Amino acid sequence: MAGSEKRRKRSNTEVCRGQSTEDTESRERTFYDTERASRRKSGGKPPHSKRARRRWGTMAKTIEELIPDYLRGLPVYVPGKPIEEVERELNIHAVKLASNENPLGPSPKAMEAARKVLGDSNRYPDGGTYYLRQKLAERRGVTPDELFVSLGSSELIDLASRVLLRQGLEGITSEGSYAPFSIAIRASGAKLVLVPQRHFAFDLQAIAKAITPPTRVIYLANPNNPTGTAFTGSEFREFVESVPDGVLVVLDEAYIHYATSVGLKDSVEVYQRRKNLLILRTFSKVYGLAGMRIGYAIGHPELLAAMNKLKTPFNTSGVAQAAALAALDDKEHVQRCIETNAAERKRLCEGLEKLGLQPVRSETNFVFIPVGPEAKAIGDDLLHLGVIVRPLGWMGFSEAIRISVGTAEENDKCLSALGQVLMKRAGKGELATR
Ligand code: PLP
């Protein structure tokens, strides 16, 4: 067995259609590599000798040993740089276009509703989120017991794996998708199966082919973060038909409001026919409530009941629930956010093209841009000019950056700074072919 093959077998990460481990040596480390690297450091051997293990049996001797292998190698999720940190460190005024937040802020009605209940903060909130589930049930055409309100959609991503996976089982997602999918699968002890993308998008047919008897869960984001691409309702329906009933498809629709080519209602219609679907939504994006940490899932009541057993009590605050309820009613604000984003995304992309770049067509509130091997350096240069964007090396794209769509003013600042950076680098002859 070749060395790289042996290493892949030992790791709980597998890349479908074999991206070789050797490839990872020559490029920037990604979050996929962390576990392999830590195993390689110890020569793939357990840290203690056989003799010591015989003497002490299976008893752990250090805190480190208490932590299972599959968790020791797990990377921490790296969020976009906080604006306060950049301003403090560089002593500049910065704009943050790194975390796909809503630049127009929350609905004024949501802020008012949140303010009204602040005074009740001495009491625990309604852990069953009765009113929000009632409203969402009406809105989405499902029953309240098919709704689970969560601490952002991040909690749902984690709970789905904790409920369905364990060592010996498999979870599938795509390379180049939202990192917490892979982290959730690996944190459960199950094997992570990564399917390569096609043209920066999910390859749904290849994902269907990667299903094996131990597969229990598949994570998809539509539209995808960080590439911004989306699959259509009919592509998704076809995919779901090829997934066995015993495999759960987790469909993360964090950016669905911004997608013009995907039917908003499509996934609930699919869910009504095939209950092995868990649809995730968040209030962090179009509703502008990222700081409130609230989201929800639509899914089979039995699955949601199991997730409910694992969630922390009172996962969402009363303030967040009140804000979310009011945000759902402020349709004008949602519409304004969608339209502003579409207009600014178009302007940002046109500006990027004028700079000689080729952004990938986006269905979201951010743009994925291949910029060449200097992606990280370009991100750093932009930071020093007060523009925070996201170099994507950590997410597996060492030659791309992601820019969130901001206000007109923020986008102008970003385009002007990027123009300066590219010009400076071209002058130095540093910029590789884009
Ligand atoms: N899913 C995707 C695809 C995301 O990009 C994000 C955040 O950027 C989330 C989920 C997390 O959302 P939340 O703030 O609801 O936890």
| 194, 46 contact by CB (below 8 A) | no
Structure tokens at 112: 């008012």
Task: Give pLDDT, residue 25.
Answer: 43
153 Cβ below 6 A of ligand 1: yes
Tell me, yes or no, if the pTM score tops 0.85: yes
| 83-104+332-427 shares its CATH topology with 108-329 | no
Q: What confidence score (pLDDT) does residue 42 get?
A: 47
What pLDDT, on the 0 to 100 scale, is given for residue 434?
Answer: 46
What is the tens place of the pLDDT at every residue in 233-244? 999 999 999 999
* Whether the CB of 295 sits within 6 Å of ligand 1: yes
Question: CA-CA distance, 164 to 193, in Å (whole number)?
Answer: 15
In CATH terms, the fold of domain 108-329 is Aspartate Aminotransferase; domain 2 (3.40.640)
Question: Does residue 228 have its Cβ closer than 6 Å to ligand 1?
Answer: no
Ligand 1 contacts CB of residue 254 (under 6 A) = yes
The ranges assigned to domains in the chain are 3-30+32-72, 83-104+332-427, 108-329
Low-confidence ranges of the chain (pLDDT < 50): 1-10, 17-26, 35, 38-39, 42, 44, 432-434
pLDDT tens for each residue of 397-419 = 999 999 999 999 999 999 999 99
Ligand 1 mean position, distance from CA 61 (Å): 38
Supply the pLDDT for residue 428: 72
Distance CA 434, CA 432 (A): 6
CATH class, domain 83-104+332-427, is alpha beta
Q: What is the pLDDT of residue 425?
A: 87
Q: What is the pLDDT of residue 385?
A: 94
Ligand 1 close to Cβ of residue 100 (< 6 A): yes
Q: What is the pLDDT of residue 262?
A: 73
What local confidence, expressed as pLDDT, does residue 412 receive?
A: 98
